Amino acid sequence: MSDPVQAHFVAALERRMQRAPEAVQRVLRARLQQAWPGQASTGSPTPAAHTRAPSPLAQLNRDIAATAPPGRELRSAQSFRDTWSRICADDEVTQAVAQGPENAGPLNSHRLVLRTLALMRDLSPDYLRRFLSHADTLLWLEQAQSPGRPKPPAAKPRPARSKK
């Protein structure tokens, strides 16, 4: 059997059939017939002894791998990935701007960052996409380092001084 997942599934069904009551064995035999046609009625199948024809998707992947140069991506896949990342970056900025503070002052840092991202989206979408990719990577690295370490305690507010 060329598919290791299906081979494991068939082997598990065989093990269950050996220990199951007759009523359950009938149900498992029907499932086995669906997974491995022509073998359930003859007793216990041996998946390693039989091979199935590859699925159409597996055959297509094999054909693409044979025709595409090794290590290179198809132009259509690259174009799709670029378009998809551009759309995702645009959606992320649009959503962030929509969720931004409404009554913030002109020098509010959150509002300034959102405004910068919106301008970057309009002026240079490719730069925005790369910027967001770098920001996501930095965020991931920060989160990857922090699970083992406890977060530092928040600074205690200082009591206000009274005027004399």
pLDDT, residue 157, reads 60
- Using only the alpha carbons of the chain, give its radius of gyration: 30
Contact 111, 119 (CB under 8 A): no
What lies within 8 Å, CB to CB, of 67 at 6+ separation is none
Mean pLDDT (whole number) for 42-70 = 67
pLDDT, residue 123, reads 92
String of DSSP letters for 22-75: HHHHHHHHHHHHHHSTTTGGGSS--TTT--PPPPHHHHHHHHHHHHSPTT---H
pLDDT surpassing 70 at residue 129? yes
